[in-house]
A and B are shown apart, each in its own frame.
Chain A
Amino acid sequence: MNKSILRKLKGLNTIETIQKKLNIKRSTAIKKIHELRKLNYIETSGGGKQPRLYRIHINKIVKIGNPGLYDIINKNSPIKLSRPFEERIIGKKLSIEEVIIRAIKTEDYRVILASLPLFNKVKDFSKLYNLAKKENIRRKLGALYEVARKTVKTKKIDDKHLKLMLKAKDKKKFVVPNAKSKDFMDIENKWKVYIPFNKQDLWRLKE
C-alpha cells in the first residue's frame, strides 16, 4: 500500500473527505476503502442511522485477542469512556461479571459509573460474588449494585448472595479514594462504604 495515500487519509474520514483528499469519484473512494479494509489499515464505526466513519491508520492494525475492560463497558453502557490504552485479552473472553469486578478495582470514578448498567447483563451472580470475594470487594459490590438498581434496570440478585455480601468484612471503605456523597446515605450506612456518586451523576446513565 502506498504510504503517501495513507498519510493523506490518516485519521477520521467520511466517504466525502476521502473523495476530497484523493480527488476521486465516490465509487473509486468506496473501492479504496474496500482495499484498505482488506489490508487491515481501516477501522469502521457508525452505519445505520449514524454516518459511517473510517479511521485510517498509516500502519497495519494489529488486532489480536478479545476486547478489554474499556471496550466492553463502552459496548454496554450509555456513558462512553475514552481508552487510556488499547487493551486486548488473549486466549479468553472477559465475562460481564469479570468486567464489573475489574471496573470496581480501578477505583476510577468514571469507569465505575459507566459500569453500573452492566449489572443488567450479569448471568451468574454466584460467579460475581466469588470474584468479589477473591478481591475483598464484596461490600463495595453490594453497595454499587443497590445504587445501580435505583437508577438503571438491573437483574435481581438472589437474597443468599446479597446476605453473604453484607456479612463480608472488607476493610476498604472508599469506592473511589476520598470521594463521598450525601445522596445515598441509606446505602452507605447499610454497606459501610462511601458512594462517590450523587443523584445527578446517575442521571447520565438514563440519557
Chain B
Amino acid sequence: MIDLEKQGELLSLIGETLKKKVECYIVGGSAMMYHGVKGETKDIDVVFNDNESKEIFEKVLKKLGYKERDIKIMYFKKKNRPLLLERGEERIDLFIKKVITFEITENIKERIEKVYEYGNLIVKIVSPEDIILFKCATERPGDRIDAKKIIENFDINWNVIIEEAVNQTKLESYLFPVYLYDFLEELKEDFKAEIPKEILKEIRKISEDLLVKKLKKK
C-alpha cells in the first residue's frame, strides 16, 4: 500500500529524473488521496495523452527498479489494458488516453481542479465525478467501495456523470451507459450508496435506448 506522502516522494523522484516535461492524469484511488477521502491505495493509475509520454515515464520507472507484471491477473481480457509496473508492494498502472472502456475527454480535462508539479512531472487530478466513471470502467476489487466512499463524501453532480457517459458513446464505448447503470445499480443495492432514483432511472432509459438502437442496426 502507498500513502500520499510515499506517492509524493516517488513522483518527486520521477519528476527530478525526467529530462523534459511530462503531463499525466491521476485517476482512481490515488486521485482520491489528493481529494482527501482515502488514506492509502494499492496502485497508482496514471493516464497519459500519448504513447511518447508513457514511454518516457515507463523508462524512468524501469530505471528505478520497477518490473512489468502479468496484466491478465488484474484485467483478464479487457480492452485498453494498462502496462503494469511493480516494485515491492507498489504497483503503477500506465494507460494511454483510454482506461478500459473509458476515454479521457476534453470535458474531463476541463473539470480538473487540482494540478501538482513534481519537477518535470505535471500531475493532474481528475474530479470526483470522473473518478466514479473510471471506477466503473475498471471494476477491480475495491473499486465499488471506493466509488461509494466518493458518493458519501462529495456532493456529486450526477448530471456531469450522465453527460460524460453519453459523451463516451460517441467515442469507442457505445455501451458505456449500460455498464454505468449496472455499476450504480449494484452500488445502490449491495452497498446502499445514496444515488438518486431519478438518476438511475435516467441512465436506465439512456441505456435501453442505446441497446434498442444497437439491435435495430443488426
Contacts and interface: CB of A to CB of B under 8 A. Distances in A.
Interface stretch (A54-62, A108-116, A123-131): A54-62
B36 A90 contact: no
B105 interface: no
Interface string A66-96: 0010000000000000000111111110000
A91 B118 contact: yes
Interface in B101-127: 112-119, 124
Q: How large is the interface on B (under 10, 10 to 19, 20 to 34, 35 or more residues)?
A: 20 to 34
Contacts of B37: 59
Contacts of B8: 64, 90
Interface of B: 4, 8, 11-12, 15-16, 33-37, 112-119, 124, 152-155
A62 B154 contact: no
B36 A62 contact: yes
A86 B115 contact: yes
Interface size on A, as a range, is 20 to 34
A57 B12 CA distance: 27
Given A61-B36, A90-B11, 10 more contacts: A40-B36, A59-B37, A62-B4, A62-B33, A65-B116, A68-B115, A86-B114, A87-B117, A89-B117, A90-B8
Interface of A: 3, 10, 40, 57-62, 64-65, 68, 85-92
B119 A91 contact: yes
Contacts of B33: 62
Contact of B116 (A40, A61, A88): A88
26 contacts: A3-B153, A59-B35, A59-B36, A59-B37, A59-B153, A59-B154, A62-B33, A62-B34, A62-B35, A62-B36, A65-B117, A68-B117, A85-B115, A86-B114, A87-B114, A87-B115, A87-B116, A88-B115, A88-B116, A88-B117, A90-B11, A90-B15, A90-B116, A90-B117, A90-B118, A91-B12
Contacts of B154: 58-59
Contacts of A65: 116-117
A89 B123 CA distance: 10
Contact of B112 (A59, A60, A85, A91): A85
